Chain A
Amino acid sequence: MLTRSIQRGLRIGAISFGILTYLILVGLPTRIGDAAMPVLAVAMALLFWISLRGGVSKQDVSARAPAPLFTAGTMAGLFAGALTATLIAFFTGLLADGVRLQPIFDKIVPQNMAALYGVMPGVIATEGIPALGWLRQTLFLTASGIVGALLVLIERSIRQRSFPRIPWLRWVPLILPFVLLAFVIWLGMPGVTFGGNNRGTIRLLATMVTIGSGIFALRAARPGAEQRVFGLLFFLAIAYLPFTLDQFQNSVMGIVFIFVMIGLGLNIVVGFAGLLDLGYVAFFAIGAYVYAFLAAPFSSPWVTAQLQSLGLPYNQPLVSYWMAIPITMVAAGIGGVLLGIPVLRLRGDYLAIVTLGFGEIIRLFMLNLSDLTNGPRGLLNIAPPYLFGINFGSPREIFILALIGAGIVAFAAYRLDGSRLGRAWIAMREDEDVAQATGVNLVRTKLLAFAIGALFAGLAGQLYAARQVNIFPENFSLFVSIDALSLVIVGGMGSIPGVVIGALALKGLPEVLRGVDEYRIVTFAALLVLMMIVRPEGLVPSTRRRRELHEDAEPIAGVDAPSALEQLATAEPTATQKAGRQ
């Protein structure tokens, strides 16, 4: 039994060593600075906790006893620690000998190693491995292994104890957003020095948490009056945000909510209708470019030439922002249908690949149709929206417009979700053949999904163009599609509040955590994989998705009860109710 827990510890330790090696190779210690080892140790403690609690079958009582748990934890920490420390010492030794490792491993530089030992980089170059460095690192990780085991025990004892129900606890999530809002407002007041240089960032983070917690609270509120009152107050709170935030914060929130609009559109295509579209950026691009043609005709040689030949002025916007809205929407919608028609017959993976191809082809067109799009030089000086003669192009106004836009789009998506069309989408997603045999016109239903999704993205694209003032083809790369897809998935496919949470987490947080930008894509990518394994339904799942992905998510009383047929059969047949003809 002891050998079993040692084996288990070694296995966990080996995997942890792999993860640590990865983190060192991507240069994370350099980023963290000389607290690298303690920070990594804390992170590893959490990892040990997760790996120690899982993998033990419920029947295996011995493995759940404290002693084997601590044996496994200690072994895991010791093993991972010793291996990692040895690897670090090896690298450091080479560096100290003057070997340049950078041609192979870009991030294995003295700073990285110094951070792990908690010394100045110069020490590595001159003195090599610090005394007791190996031991220090090994001990740090052994400690995290023990802490991991401890966490398992603590978690278990908490779970076993029953807590008294505190009635007012229910109100905490409902009040939290407003407390946070007050905090945000307070932070913005003149004279407040809380947070020092980071005050702006803390404020931005608090803003996002305000919105996020509000979204969760909205779901936690009891349906009916409570939910309605809370919803109204929360709405007012959000409406107030643009007026209290500063320019940078507004600008970040603006882009977050532009991505909420994109996400809501993609959510219709992927979440509702189940059509995995990887070329979704095309519609965003159409919206942006069509608005740019209208609002900055002088930027496009072709449009300029056309206007000249017609004798029209070309050095000013053709239409106002508001007049352009229907035009971009129609253009994007038509784009959606046109790209939708050829892929009508494709399902699943094939659809994903073809739409990915389309997205790239559109981008290559933007790059190469220089006459129309001005190629990589982009379309410049796009006019901002004006309302009553006031320039609406500053970050605050853009955030307001993004909020309004996202609100309208979310409302439309919500209404569609429960409609005849929404039901047809879900039916189609579940079983295309049966949906058709049940009366769903697949062509119409699919094209409507593409068109409505495209239309939302077009709106977002227009606002984006107005925000950016200058747009270039690289603004519309595959990564917009990937970002949009990631935020839909992280939030929860088919879930409207999920899109907001996803956008906050994936577009907002990286802005707060400046400096980790380098790690943005790997983090998203790892998150995507992890999400699919652990929680494929997303952070704020739509109830329906959860049902689809978990066979036994909602055990319903009566599954083992006799079926209605049996009950009918036991009753006298004549006693059955008459529904009559409708």
Chain B
Amino acid sequence: MTVTTYSSTPLPRRRKSAAHWVLRALGVLILVLVIWRVYTVGMAENYPASFWISQALNGLVLGGVYALVALGYTLVYGILLMINFAHGEVVMIGGFAGFFALQFFTAIGWLEGSAALVAFALLLIVGAGMLASVLTGVTLERVAYRPLRGAPRLVPLISAIGASLFLQYSVLLIFGVSPRVYQKPALIAGGFRVGDVFVPYTGVIIFATSLLLMLALYLIVQRSKLGKAMRAVAEDKGTAALMGIDVNQVIVFTFILGSALAGAAGVMLGFHNTIVKFNSGFILGLKAFTAAVLGGIGNIPGAMMGALLLGLIEAIGPSALGIPTEYKDIISFSVLVLILIFRPSGLLGEVLSEKKA
């Protein structure tokens, strides 16, 4: 069920050297230190259970959104074996489009109408974000990546870095520096209580939408004809082409899928974080990439799992480690670095093999 990539003839595997064991020991040491820190902080602070639960719920919501973005990385990586460095910007552009759609529907008054009308408007807003992201993603593929297919690996990566900067700073130039603030429609602004835990409506909606979209993606990849073609191309481009699969079409389709998810994620993050800015995709992209790597890049369930885990780590981490919440980005960075160093194949096994790590 995974879009996995492994070479049929395994390349020579690195032997385990002394350096390997030093790294292992270092890894265990870091793990022990982290656990010890969490233990001492937990003893000292004594937060109520409801605090942890609401943090965890928050983490799940974030994780759901990360998962949508991480899937974009994983899909493209599975097919092209390249990190779409500009994927975070695709998310950000979706966020901007969603903002303008939200403005529009606010202006025509739909968001104060009946529940059905609000739901319909929200759907259209997410759709606008998805559309903008898909357009961006497809253009990106056409302009910055397709001409470089078959080039040495560094070449498309550098192009992707260029594209990422280009999109960020174009948005800065076109829309200005000031962040755009999402106003939640009154209908979904509140929340409900379960015991001591407050659950915002947006959180529930976002998490449910994420799950639905992931399910949809899963069905597309597993059941549809194009999904099967995708898996074939991921396995072996050359053979797939010989079997009559239009590889270009499959690649474009992959970008469409990934970007559509990214657009939805952009809009939902807009509602969740309330602001969207020219550079809000960059860090998010790195985090989603972390999530994809955490689960084993190229692996669809891995990306979902890794994203939920990362969301939880990020939400609970600062309190558990007893550090200010502003440091949550450092936590994600550290997770990324540690995972790549100690287990580059991710948590879900040896999917990535030596082809890339």
Contacts and interface: CB of A to CB of B under 8 A. Distances in A.
Given A346-B340, A361-B333, A529 B163 contact: yes
B337 A354 contact: yes
Given A343-B341, A364-B330, 8 more contacts: A276-B157, A341-B19, A345-B14, A347-B357, A364-B329, A482-B165, A529-B163, A532-B156
Contacts of B194: none
Interface stretch (A139-147, A155-163, A520-528): A520-528
Interface stretch (B126-134, B173-181, B219-227, B243-251): B173-181
A274 interface: yes
Contacts of B12: 433
Contacts of A549: 151-152, 155
B176 A528 contact: no
Interface in A409-446: 433, 443
The 8 closest A-B pairs by CB, nearest first: A528-B162, A106-B176, A525-B166, A525-B165, A26-B173, A532-B159, A529-B162, A521-B169
Contacts of B153: 348-349
A327 to B, nearest CB: 28
Contact of A106 (B151, B154, B165, B175): B175
6 contacts: A104-B100, A341-B19, A345-B357, A356-B286, A361-B337, A525-B163
Contacts of A178: none
Contacts of B193: none
B82 interface: yes
B337 A358 contact: yes
A12 to B, nearest CB: 15
A356 to B, nearest CB: 8
Given A26-B170, A106-B173, A549-B151, A346 B162 contact: no
Interface stretch (B1-9, B141-149, B203-211): B141-149
Contacts of B337: 342, 354, 357-358, 361
A527 B169 contact: no
Interface in B160-197: 161-166, 169-170, 173-176
Contacts of B240: none
A215 to B, nearest CB: 23
Contacts of B19: 341, 344, 443
B356 A350 contact: yes
B152 A548 contact: yes
B175 A353 contact: no
A102 B176 contact: yes
Q: Which of A348, A358, A361 has the most CB of B within 10 A?
A: A348
Contacts of A521: 165, 169
B344 interface: yes
A193 B169 CA distance: 39
A342 B169 contact: no
Chain B, interface SS category: helix
B69 interface: no
Contacts, number: 138
Nearest to B178: A106
A25 interface: yes
Band of interface residues on A:
35 or more
A533 interface: yes
A105 interface: yes
Max chain A C-beta neighbours (<10 A), residue from B100, B174, B175: B174
Contacts of B148: 532-533
A489 interface: yes
A473 interface: no
Contacts of B163: 525, 529
A361 B334 contact: yes
Given A524-B165, A548-B152, A105 B157 contact: no
Contacts of B158: 276, 485, 489, 528, 532
B60 interface: no
A281 to B, nearest CB: 14
Interface string A478-509: 00001001000100000000000000000000
Contacts of A526: 162, 166
Contacts of A356: 286
A356 B155 CA distance: 17
A270 B329 CA distance: 27
Interface in A1-39: 22, 25-27
A568 to B, nearest CB: 32
B23 interface: yes
A352 interface: yes
B336 A522 contact: no
A106 B180 CA distance: 12
A353 B289 contact: yes
A90 B55 CA distance: 49
Contacts of B159: 528-529, 532-533
Most chain A beta-carbon contacts within 10 A, residue among B14, B23, B173: B173
B100 A274 contact: no
A485 B85 CA distance: 15
Contacts of B11: 433
A212 interface: no
A350 B345 CA distance: 11
B199 interface: no
Contacts of B330: 361, 364
A343 to B, nearest CB: 7
A386 interface: no
A360 interface: yes
Contacts of A107: 173-174, 176
Interface in B319-357: 329-330, 333-334, 336-337, 340-341, 344, 356-357
B328 to A, nearest CB: 12
B252 interface: no
Nearest to A430: B152
B161 A349 contact: no
A506 to B, nearest CB: 13
Nearest to B26: A342
B83 interface: yes
A240 interface: no
